[in-house]
Amino acid sequence: MNVALLSKWHVHADDYARQAKNNENITIKVVWDEIAERGNKWAKELGVPFENDLIKVLEDPEIDAVIVDTPTNLHKEIITLAAKHKKHIFTEKVLAFTVRDCEEIFTVIKENEVKLMVSLPRLTENYYLYAQDVLDKGLLGKLTSIRCRLAHNGAVPFEGNPNGWLPNHFFNKEECGGGALIDLGAHPIYLTNRLAGSAKAVTARLQKTLGHDVDDNAVVIVEYESGVLGTLETGFLSNGSPFQLELYGTEGTLLIEDQNIRLKSKQLGEGWNVPDQLPETLSMPLNQWVSDILVNAKPTLDENDFLNLTIINQAASLSNEQGRRIEIAELTTESVEV
């Protein structure tokens, strides 16, 4: 299938271009970018044409699908436009800023019978699959709390780079809708959502430690309908911070720190257990998307994952702005108001 790359705004755009080139069923045909100079340069690097007119790209009958890496505030407009032109859509997280916007995107996707995928890659990783399996087998008893942390030093200044190694536009609130939480924090959010279920309420603190327009350090507490408490941590100011996913239950504990995994369960006797083998990783979201388009293979990621990610982000933003606990029902009620 023929694919158009829409923008190199996001830091993962090159990664998706690489994944597309490595997929035998994809041919990259054209690049469009809201910044022509950047798009032209990228198109030359990839050896494909650059097109300055997005509508021409979307009206091209040879283009089957698009990979969206635009500023997040353009997602809704560009994704719905692509869907109305019958193009399948793969997009960087998050899908959109609000529940209402996500629901409107889903409606257009269904009306035009195209396939949508949002990049939530850690739901395909072996450690997540192992954690899910441990839960499904009841080895932790009743799950009571989850802590998930993912942080890096992308905003820590160094010589010649006062904003760190992240691009300057990652601190543009209008384009991004937020900072560390909405970007890097997406991973702890969607992992914890999957493991804990539907969210009930959110309390968040989004700090602007270095004075940017967006948060560079954040903690979110999520109350889930299941009774689980989720503590989600992220930031752009941590040097050497490992990825951590911790699950605590009435009969056991599972600790994941980067590649170090250990499980303690009453059902397995005393002491810690290290798994001999982890489940096989699943296909990356982009490859699942292609299989869904070509052979109707059902992806392991779906609309609930995409929507629930936005729900937590929207609630966290409101909680931080208003200094209070936000009930998820407030967002879902708002989305159906006429």
Question: Which tens digit of pLDDT belongs to each residue from 5-43?
Answer: 999 999 999 999 999 999 999 999 999 999 999 999 999
Does residue 196 share a domain with residue 298? yes
Query: Domain limits at 41?
Result: 2-118
**Percentage of the chain with pLDDT > 70?**
98
The predicted structure's pLDDT at residue 27: 98
Mean pLDDT of the 205-222 span: 97
Q: Tens digit of pLDDT for each residue in 259-279?
A: 999 999 999 999 999 999 999
Q: Domain with 31 in it: what CATH number?
A: 3.40.50.720
Euclidean distance between CA atoms 149 and 129, whole angstroms:
17
Last residue of a domain, one of 70, 102, 118: 118
Q: How many domains does the chain fold into?
A: 2
Euclidean distance between CA atoms 119 and 303, whole angstroms:
12
Does residue 188 share a domain with residue 88? no
Q: Which stretches does DSSP call E strand in the chain?
A: 2-6, 27-32, 65-68, 88-91, 116-118, 143-151, 199-207, 217-224, 229-235, 244-249, 252-257, 260-265, 326-327
Helix axes 328-336, 99-112, angle to 10 degrees: 50
> Is residue 269 one of the residues assigned to a domain?
yes
The predicted structure's pLDDT at residue 337: 45
Last residue of a domain, one of 118, 149, 180: 118
Does residue 36 share a domain with residue 171? no
Does residue 141 share a domain with residue 114? no
Tokens describing residue 297: 């293979």
CB 188 within 8 A of CB 232: yes
Does residue 138 share a domain with residue 160? yes
The predicted structure's pLDDT at residue 334: 57
Last residue of a domain, one of 85, 101, 118: 118
Band (pLDDT 50/70/90 cuts) for residue 169 is very high
Q: Tens digit of pLDDT for each residue in 69-95?
A: 999 999 999 999 999 999 999 999 999
Mean pLDDT computed over every residue of the chain: 96
The predicted structure's pLDDT at residue 336: 43
Mean pLDDT of the 148-163 span: 94
Instruction: List, as one string, the DSSP characters of 93-160.
Output: SPS-SSHHHHHHHHHHHHHHT--EEE--GGGGSHHHHHHHHHHHTTTTSSEEEEEEEEE--TT--BTT
Mean pLDDT of the 204-214 span: 97
CB 181 within 8 A of CB 314: no
Tokens describing residue 187: 């991973």
pLDDT for residue 258 is more than 70: yes
Does residue 27 share a domain with residue 175? no
User: What SS3 state is found at 198?
Assistant: coil
pLDDT for residue 320 is more than 50: yes
Hunting for tokens 């702890």 — which residue is that?
A: 188
> Is residue 336 one of the residues assigned to a domain?
no
Mean pLDDT of the 41-62 span: 98
Does residue 161 share a domain with residue 63? no
Band (pLDDT 50/70/90 cuts) for residue 333 is low
